[in-house]
Amino acid sequence: MTNIAKGLEGVLFTETKLTFINGTEGILTHLGIPIQEWAENSTFEELSLALLDGKLPTASELAAFDADLRANRAVPAELLDIIKAYPKGIHPMQALRTAVSHLALYDKQAEDTSDTARRAISVRLIAQMSTLIAAINRTQQGEEPVAPRADLTHAGNFLYMLKGTEPTPEQSRLFDIALVLHVDHGMNASTFTAIATASTLSDQYSTAVSAIGALKGPLHGGANEAVMDMLDEIGTPDRAADFINAKLDAKEKVMGVGHRVYKYFDPRSRVLRDYAAHVAEKEGKSHYYQILEVIEKTVVDRLSSKGIYPNVDFYSGTVYSDLGIQKEYFTPIFALARISGWCASVNEYERDNRLLRPDAVYSGAEGAHYIQIQDRK
Ligand SMILES: CC(=O)SCCNC(=O)CCNC(=O)[C@H](O)C(C)(C)COP(=O)(O)OP(=O)(O)OC[C@H]1O[C@@H](n2cnc3c(N)ncnc32)[C@H](O)[C@@H]1OP(=O)(O)O
Ligand SMILES: O=C([O-])CC(=O)C(=O)O
């Protein structure tokens, strides 16, 4: 009997120098450096460049990359008008997928798949994704988009464009750490999708659009919003244990827990939990955090024997929510960070490209013949 790797579990299809995950011990490194060290010391800009170049940047390389991002933040005014005309009430991930596709139409290099063009487009995609998301957020609420500012960090500028007011340094740094934690994660579904698209020698915008579509689903990036829906449904911490136990008894999945690779705590969820706890304590907004604490305990008690623990999507939403961001924007924010990982992984794969084309075991009919429609039962 042929073995089928359902969900491609454990299938090795390429080599990478970017990200390493040890799922049994809950270890994640980028360029060999633990995620906790990136979160503590680095920035979204630095980790993005480090992954694009495959090495820690020097101060001047980072300054040049940062300047390049800042200079590329604005998107064409015509595109903002198109975004304004999107129907109201749509999911922002739909809008983002469409807006990134629109963005390609204004990029003269969009069809150029050379290494140099891919790199230049990566910078523009990383810089402009945040402008698009903020513009979608504002226009969906009937407000004017806020133009980007070149004197703010990537994280600070996004919060500024979202709210129209400058965030505090602490808010910017907290958001920056959340971005760092989401930049890359090996061959997750959206990165794999981006690579599959790129492997046909399609263009960089098509890889980003495909990846956004893959990230959107609730089994992947969409889980952060689904966690918040669950918290809203639970309402108060005293209802959490019964709610989760009933869900598990009914064999339903709890959002924000479980992972294909981690069979222990996702290290990113530990960093986010500590920040969520800090913010909850400091600002007295402990409501969501308290519910999550009960869910985590209930899930770990019941499912740790199966290797099910909180993943990155479990606590991220409380952090965003404490920053005043609506839950529909949690997954777009994931894309805002992951665009760097998509670009870096695609560019790495493209240096030694081979068309991705797996196979399936055929289990359908054999020796059949066409039956005229009027003769079918
Ligand atoms: C950024 C990210 O993408 S992180 C992941 C975000 N996704 C979520 O949080 C959604 C909830 N989690 C899940 O659906 C899963 O854990 C996945 C899809 C992430 C990974 O799961 P897979 O490796 O495909 O495992 P699969 O879905 O086959 O589940 C294996 C077993 O664990 C159980 N299980 C897995 N996740 C969960 C969960 N969240 N809640 C309850 N049980 C779960 C399954 O019911 C199954 O049990 P069984 O063997 O008794 O039938
Ligand atoms: O690796 C995965 O399958 C999902 C994940 O945690 C991520 O993409 O960050």
Quote the ligand 2 centre to 185 CA distance (angstroms): 5
Burial of 24 (0-12, 13-18, 19+ CB in 10 A): exposed
Residue with tokens 């665009």: 339
pLDDT surpasses 90 at 132:
yes
pLDDT surpasses 90 at 77:
yes
Sign of CA dihedral 252, 254, 257, 259: positive
pLDDT surpasses 90 at 282:
no
Distance CA 151, CA 163 (A): 16
The DSSP 8-state label assigned to residue 33 in this structure reads E
Measured between alpha carbons, how far is residue 121 from residues 43, 124, 377 in Å? 21, 5, 54
Task: Please tell me the residue having the least CA distance from ligand 1 atom 44.
Answer: 253
Per-residue pLDDT tens for 57-68? 999 999 999 999
Is residue 333 in a domain?
yes
Is residue 168 in a domain?
yes
Q: Band of the pLDDT at 2, cuts 50, 70, 90? A: confident
pLDDT surpasses 80 at 185:
yes
Query: Do 41 and 148 share a domain, yes or no?
Result: yes
Residue with tokens 């985590």: 296
Is the CB of 122 inside a 6 Å radius of any atom of ligand 2? no
Query: Do 186 and 102 share a domain, yes or no?
Result: yes
Quote the ligand 2 centre to 29 CA distance (angstroms): 13
Is residue 360 in a domain?
no
Quote the ligand 2 centre to 338 CA distance (angstroms): 10
Distance CA 145, CA 143 (A): 7
Query: Do 36 and 143 share a domain, yes or no?
Result: yes
Q: Band of the pLDDT at 198, cuts 50, 70, 90? A: very high
Catalytic hit among 313, 322, 359, 375: 313
Nearest bound ligand to CA 257?
Answer: 1
Nearest bound ligand to CA 188?
Answer: 2
Give me the CATH number covering residue 206.
Answer: 1.10.580.10
Question: Out of 28-32, 102-106, 274-278, 282-286, which region has the weakest mean confidence (pLDDT)?
Answer: 282-286
pLDDT surpasses 90 at 87:
yes
To which H or E segment does residue 224 belong? helix 223-234
The average pLDDT across 28-54 equals 98
Looking at residue 281, its pLDDT comes to: 80
- Please give the share of the chain, as a percent, with pLDDT higher than 70: 99
Contact present, 133 and 96 (Cβ < 8 Å): yes
pLDDT surpasses 70 at 363:
yes
Determine the atom of ligand 1 nearest the C-alpha atom of 9.
23
pLDDT surpasses 70 at 240:
yes
Is residue 122 in a domain?
yes
Is residue 362 in a domain?
no
Mean pLDDT of the chain: 96
Pocket test for ligand 2, best of 20, 27, 185, 270 (most atoms within 8 A of CB): 185
Looking at residue 67, its pLDDT comes to: 98
Query: Do 212 and 239 share a domain, yes or no?
Result: no
Distance CA 341, CA 122 (A): 10
Nearest bound ligand to CA 221?
Answer: 1
Nearest bound ligand to CA 10?
Answer: 1
More confident residue, 284 or 125: 125
Is the CB of 268 inside a 6 Å radius of any atom of ligand 2? no
Is the CB of 185 inside a 6 Å radius of any atom of ligand 2? yes
Distance CA 269, CA 291 (A): 15
pTM value? 0.97
CB under 6 Å to ligand 1: residues? 7, 188, 219-221, 223, 253-260, 306, 308, 311-313
Is residue 145 in a domain?
yes
Query: Do 95 and 199 share a domain, yes or no?
Result: yes
Per-residue pLDDT tens for 364-373? 999 999 999 9
Distance CA 328, CA 310 (A): 20
Which residues, at least 6 apart from 252, have a Cβ–Cβ distance to it below 8 Å? Answer: none
Query: Do 105 and 131 share a domain, yes or no?
Result: yes
Looking at residue 206, its pLDDT comes to: 98
Catalytic hit among 30, 220, 259, 266: 259
Q: Is 259 a known active-site residue?
A: yes
Q: Is 287 a known active-site residue?
A: no
Looking at residue 169, its pLDDT comes to: 97
Determine the atom of ligand 2 nearest the C-alpha atom of 266.
6
Query: Do 43 and 185 share a domain, yes or no?
Result: yes
Determine the atom of ligand 2 nearest the C-alpha atom of 220.
4
Q: Considering only the C-alpha atoms of the chain, give the largest distance between any 2 of them, rounded to a whole number of Å.
A: 74
- Considering only CA atoms, which of 174, 230, 213, 218 is closest in space to residue 44? 174
pLDDT surpasses 80 at 208:
yes
> Domain limits at 318?
223-322
Query: Do 239 and 167 share a domain, yes or no?
Result: no
Vertex 37, ends 333 and 314: CA angle to 5°?
40
Looking at residue 286, its pLDDT comes to: 67
Distance CA 310, CA 269 (A): 7
- Please give the share of the chain, as a percent, with pLDDT higher than 90: 96
Is residue 372 in a domain?
no
Q: Band of the pLDDT at 260, cuts 50, 70, 90? A: very high
Looking at residue 63, its pLDDT comes to: 98
Measured between alpha carbons, how far is residue 197 from residues 208, 212, 253, 261, 301 in Å? 9, 12, 30, 23, 41
Determine the atom of ligand 1 nearest the C-alpha atom of 311.
4
Is residue 124 in a domain?
yes
Reduced to 3 DSSP states, what percent helix, strand and coil does the chain have, rounded to the nearest 5?
Answer: 60, 5, 35
Distance CA 162, CA 285 (A): 21
Is the CB of 312 inside a 6 Å radius of any atom of ligand 2? yes
- What total of structural domains would you count in the chain? 2
CA 214 vs. chain centroid, Å, equals: 10
Which residues, at least 6 apart from 341, have a Cβ–Cβ distance to it below 8 Å? Answer: 18, 19, 51, 183, 184, 185, 191
Pocket test for ligand 2, best of 187, 312, 316, 334 (most atoms within 8 A of CB): 312
Q: Band of the pLDDT at 285, cuts 50, 70, 90? A: low
Pocket test for ligand 2, best of 30, 220, 227, 333 (most atoms within 8 A of CB): 220
Query: Do 270 and 312 share a domain, yes or no?
Result: yes
Q: Band of the pLDDT at 1, cuts 50, 70, 90? A: low
Per-residue pLDDT tens for 15-32? 999 999 999 999 999 999
Query: Do 180 and 58 share a domain, yes or no?
Result: yes
| Structure-token pair, residue 33 | 């450096």
Per-residue pLDDT tens for 134-160? 999 999 999 999 999 999 999 999 999
Query: Do 234 and 200 share a domain, yes or no?
Result: no
Beta bridge partners of 30: 19, 33
Query: Do 69 and 197 share a domain, yes or no?
Result: yes
Give me the CATH number covering residue 282.
Answer: 1.10.230.10
